[in-house]
């Protein structure tokens, strides 16, 4: 099965800076990769999906890249705001399952 590693458990960043979160996977490259946001005590919320033939995807202040050679996806939040503080999860489709990473808890400091 897939093993997914998200760079760190926690990341603190100053308001206005760009936050960069990393998702590394082993084994086979998935057809696509998803990013979710999870707030404490709530279910994850879907943010972006990027396919293996797409190098980059953008949505407002969010940008995702997907490098199948490095087996890595980077998730960027530009001009970060305190409201961006949450846990961010990456997920990859396996044969019968969507595998989730353990997440990175982002804190944006005012």
Tokens of 89: 């999860």
What secondary structure letter does DSSP report for 82? G
Strand-strand pairing, 62-67 and 104-109:
unpaired
**Least CB distance to another protein at residue 40 (A):** 11
Least spacing, CB of residue 55 vs another protein, in Å: 20
Smallest gap from residue 73 Cβ to another protein (A): 15
Question: 35 or 63, CB closer to another protein?
Answer: 35
Examine residue 10 and tell whether it contacts another protein (CB under 8 A). no
Q: How far is the CB of 83 from another protein (least distance, A)?
A: 19
> Segment 18-37, which members bind another protein (CB under 8 A)?
31-32, 34, 36
For another protein, the binding residues in 34-73 under the rule CB under 8 A are: 34, 36, 41-46, 49
Q: How many CB atoms lie under 10 A from the CB of residue 42?
A: 10
What residue has token string 């998702």?
23
What part of residues 70-109 is at the interface with another protein (CB under 8 A)? 89, 93, 96-103
Spell out a b/e string for 76-110, using b for 16 or more CB atoms within 10 Å of the CB, else e.
bbeebeeebbbbbbbbbeeeeeebbbebbbbebee
């Amino acid at each position: 099965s897939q093993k997914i590693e998200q760079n760190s458990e926690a990341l603190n960043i100053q308001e206005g800076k760009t936050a960069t979160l990393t998702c590394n996977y082993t084994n086979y490259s998935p057809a696509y990769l998803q990013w979710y946001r999870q707030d404490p005590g709530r279910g994850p919320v879907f943010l972006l999906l990027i396919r293996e033939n797409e190098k980059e995807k953008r949505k407002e202040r969010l940008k995702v890249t997907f490098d199948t050679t490095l087996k890595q996806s980077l998730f960027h939040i530009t001009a970060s705001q305190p409201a961006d503080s949450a846990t961010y999860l990456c997920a990859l489709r396996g044969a019968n399952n969507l595998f989730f990473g353990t997440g990175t808890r982002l804190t944006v400091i005012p």
